[in-house]
Structure 1
């Protein structure tokens, strides 16, 4: 169980919690804590809208990540375009879209559609009325940051998703299947592991 918790803390990038958990439980992480810090610096840069810094940090970690993953690189560049639009730097945004993103859109239809969606933000003076206004939401930054985090983990030969949430989903699924066939103690509270006896 301790290894599952450590896996979750490392994958999600909770450095301080992973260090404290290591001291308290004696469970060593499967990766060096320093790599977590570097990965979280990239994630934080994307989440704060500093995409150029994030790209630089990814290249410092491993330049092959972006070289071998054109979709990730496009999404980072798309996020950079969104940030230019958010800041009202319209001319710069148009120039960036033409020079950096349009050539990629010509090579890949999916990229072109994403670029067109992003450029639609420029058509509306009030972003709240734009049909693709969700691109300006913080959730878009989080989505891009999560994609970068997963790519870095994969490049370091680690799983991109923590094991614990998958096991909890599997447990709930197994309980539902078992409900049809048997009476057994159910887990009443997942956070405490408290059981509830079967109905009599």
Structure 2
């Protein structure tokens, strides 16, 4: 994509500077900024990066406002962004049954093609039944819905056995697998189904901007071994420090 290549050019400039000045021990701020300014990045490309982040992360309202203010077109229907966020929020709030129904309505092939994802959603339903104190219903659900899948897959069986261990403790806080009852477990399952929906829509699961920042950090780490230069330490401001000598 054009916006990625333009940013990559800027990041690559770090390596180019090191190659040209490998006999130097220090680069001044003035010289550094002059060379970086040689790389021109179009505003349109930056806007596309921002839009990609908003759409991938599911910020539908922000994406719509940004489209109106910047004129940057979305590469997907905003309704699809809202739909997948509705599924994610449903799982995070414990309403897994609604999330499964929503996925089947929107993308009926996702769960059929991904048995591991479907098992994890059903596992989360079991956890929510235990959380609500519906122990008899939880045991019945495990026997009817999860046990048959466990017989077909050893890893599923192991996960089911861990989950059922929650039933053996009156005080779940003393259970070795108490983390299953935590918000992090909901978030893990929600992220898994969210990534599957993104893939089904032909969208990458991770936004481009964080990946480019990782490339920048890697480039700076390599450059640190060679020379002193105005290094960016605070990425929220993007202002470089003076060279350390």
TM-score by length of 1: 0.97
Q: Which residue number in structure 1 is paired with residue 135 of structure 2? A: 90
2:186 matches 1:141? yes
CA offsets per residue over residues 102-139 of structure 1, 9 Å max, x none?
01001111101110110011011101111111100011
The CA distance in 1 between the partners of 2:236 and 2:62, in whole Å, is: 17
Counterpart Cα distance in 2 of 1:174 and 1:114: 41
Aligned runs of 1:1-200 on 2, under 5 Å? 1-200=46-245
Match of 1:88, SS state, is coil
Unaligned runs of 5+ in 1: none
Q: How many residue pairs are counted as aligned between the two chains?
A: 200
Larger Cα-atom Rg? 2
Give the secondary structure class of the aligned counterpart of 2:233: strand
Inter-partner Cα distance in structure 2 for 1:196 and 1:165:
21
Q: Unaligned stretches of 5+ in structure 2? A: 1-45
What is the TM-score normalised by the length of structure 2? Answer: 0.79
Aligned alpha-carbon RMSD (Å): 1.0
Structure 1 position 27, deviation (Å): 1.4
Report the Cα offset of residue 197 of structure 1: 2.6
Give the Cα separation in 2 of the matches to 1:22 and 1:185. Answer: 35
Greater relative contact order (CA < 8 Å, ≥ 6 in sequence): 2
